[in-house]
Structure 1
Amino acid sequence: DFQIGDQVWTNSMGYEGRMGATAEYVAVPTDRLYHVPDGVAPMPLVAAVHSAATAAIVLNDVMEIRRGQTLLIEGAAGNVGRKLIQLAHQMGVTAVITASPRDFARCQQLGSTACYDYHAGFADQLTTDQWTFDHVIDTSGRVPLAINLALLRLGGQVTLITAPQDNQFEFPVRQFYMSQQRITGFVISHATVDQLAQAASRLNRAFSAGLLLDDQVSQRYFKDAAQCHAQLEAGTDHHQRFVLLPS
């Protein structure tokens, strides 16, 4: 299915012994390789695929979310959060988000139904507004698990894609099991070939429609890799995406 000169992308290299992506040349198995859709610029696509694939697999395979359900996305203005909003909206899911007020307008443009300030006791506000959720996902790892469980409906699910810095959670176990709730975790490096391929098909359709390509892209070079990693670790700008090119 591939010809010399085709533009292609992949999102699963550098794990489990596979060649990494910061290389001038890389051998990619064909079942992990996907075409760049016609008319889609490669730079914003490359910046989007990691967070977008995470969102797609979380919604489809981890949450198994369905049209008409309600999802709370915490820290929704970040890279994964914005992808979750757009894909959930496409699926007919009601997406309620927490973010900084300066990001409310953007999140609403992407498809969020309601926005809450994560600095201002958002859990109490959600309860006052009578929101309950089928699914909750915290993209930041900063919200206590007990708060998220309390916002769930019977049989609801909390999904983790990161962990708190202290590596600890406390929550009322009796309430948890009596409500038949679930806690799941997802790391994209463990995604299967089939999950990645299904996500790639869905993402390419979205890319062709001009969706998911809204990241702030900073073009750098391989020699800048250490500096980029340091900036990411510092967490000074959760909206920034670095794309490294050979010098």
Structure 2
Amino acid sequence: MRAIGYSAFGAAADVLALHDIGVPEPAAGEVRVKLVYSGVNPSDAKARSGTRPGVLRPPFDLVVPHSDGSGVIDAVGAGVAPARIGERVWIWNGQWQRAFGSAAESICLPSAQAVALPDGVSFEAGAALGIPGLTAAHAVFGGGNISGQTLLISGGAGAVGHNAVQLAKWGGATVIATASPRAFERVKAAGADHVLDYRADDLAAQIMAITEGKGIDRAVEPEFGANAGLLAEVMRANGTIAAYGSQLDMSPTLPFGPFLFKAITIDIVLIYILDPAPRAAAIDKLHAALSACALHPAIHEIMPLEDAAKAHERVMSAGRNGAVLLEI
């Protein structure tokens, strides 16, 4: 079968290549998914580039990248109900701690990691549910019911942020999002009640004015280090920051005094290692929102499998409006 893979770290165009590998057979407890789309995420590009501290070489002789995807189950291993064959599914953690991910014609993985797509949900949307969808759902709902709360969603135009805005609005929250001015209308269309320029000098004052001085109940944050000072100002007492990234400052210095005297909770979100119960809850929220037509995962571009290198470059470029998919 056709698969994209790499055997060394480096630039996408230099190390990603099309391979012909054997069709995998599902082991006990596994299913095989004939893939329709593979979802490309920034984490896939970072892993391929070799920029993670202390990691000098790929963990396997050949790595087929990507954690997300969608397709149809066409075989099952021992212990899995044969009735699953023919089921439309989306997958999560396809390549997490494994050699072969979703940038291929087929993938075998534990049955629980192939989730039945709700009726009417497209394969395209399904391929965008893994990392960006689950991260958004857990960041928004990981603390429970948000109805009546005020949520701050930084980076509301990003793949996770755009999903989070839709989910938070559907969940009954007042949504304040930040974005660049060129993305304001798109973020408003996703459901944000207020969209603010993330570069504004008076951003904290604007947020506090909108909340009438009460502050933010829950923040969904992709750049925790860079925004720690702002969050210290705008969070209410006993508020929660759900942080899923801090690329601009990986060793942040926190204003501990304001954090302490507001008893702010910092909830670090890493969707790959989420425990089964909160993962199931996040999946339920995604499916409920999809079924209610309240969530529409944005797709920026779909490319053929052979253009995987271009897809890796695109997913790391500025101004992207949604997921990047490979069509298998």
TM-score normalised by the chain length of structure 2? 0.67
Question: Which residue matches 1:114?
Answer: 194
| Residue 152 of structure 1, aligned match among 230, 235, 247 | 235
Displacement of 1:222 after TM fit?
2.8
Please list, as runs of the form range in 1=range in 2, the aligned pairs for 1:29-48 lying within 5 A after superposition.
29-48=110-129
Checking the alignment, whether the CA contact within 8 Å between 1:31 and 1:197 is kept in structure 2 is no
Checking the alignment, whether the CA contact within 8 Å between 1:45 and 1:207 is kept in structure 2 is no
Checking the alignment, whether the CA contact within 8 Å between 2:128 and 2:297 is kept in structure 1 is no
Tell me how many residue pairs correspond in the alignment: 244
Cα gap change, 1:21 to 1:166, in 2 (>3 Å): same
| Residue 28 of structure 1, aligned match among 109, 124, 134 | 109
1:133 counterpart = 2:216? yes
Q: Partner of 1:52: helix, strand, or coil? A: helix
- Richer in strand (by share): 2
1:51 and 1:192 map into 2 onto residues whose CA distance is: 17
Structure with bigger gyration radius: 2
2:134 and 2:235 map into 1 onto residues whose CA distance is: 25
2:267 and 2:281 map into 1 onto residues whose CA distance is: 20
Please list, as runs of the form range in 1=range in 2, the aligned pairs for 1:46-65 lying within 5 A after superposition.
46-61=127-142, 63-65=143-145
Unaligned runs of 5+ in 1: none
- Richer in helix (by share): 1
1:45 and 1:37 map into 2 onto residues whose CA distance is: 9
Displacement of 1:231 after TM fit?
2.6
Task: Judge which range, 180-189 or 170-179, deviates more.
Answer: 170-179
1:76 counterpart = 2:148? no
TM-score normalised by the chain length of structure 1? 0.87
Question: Which residue matches 1:170?
Answer: 253
Displacement of 1:214 after TM fit?
4.3
Checking the alignment, whether the CA contact within 8 Å between 2:226 and 2:249 is kept in structure 1 is no
Q: Which letter maps to 1:243?
A: L
Question: Which residue matches 2:146?
Answer: 66
Displacement of 1:18 after TM fit?
7.0
Checking the alignment, whether the CA contact within 8 Å between 2:93 and 2:130 is kept in structure 1 is no
Cα gap change, 1:59 to 1:126, in 2 (>3 Å): closer
Cα gap change, 1:236 to 1:69, in 2 (>3 Å): same
Q: Partner of 2:252: helix, strand, or coil? A: coil
Displacement of 1:5 after TM fit?
2.0
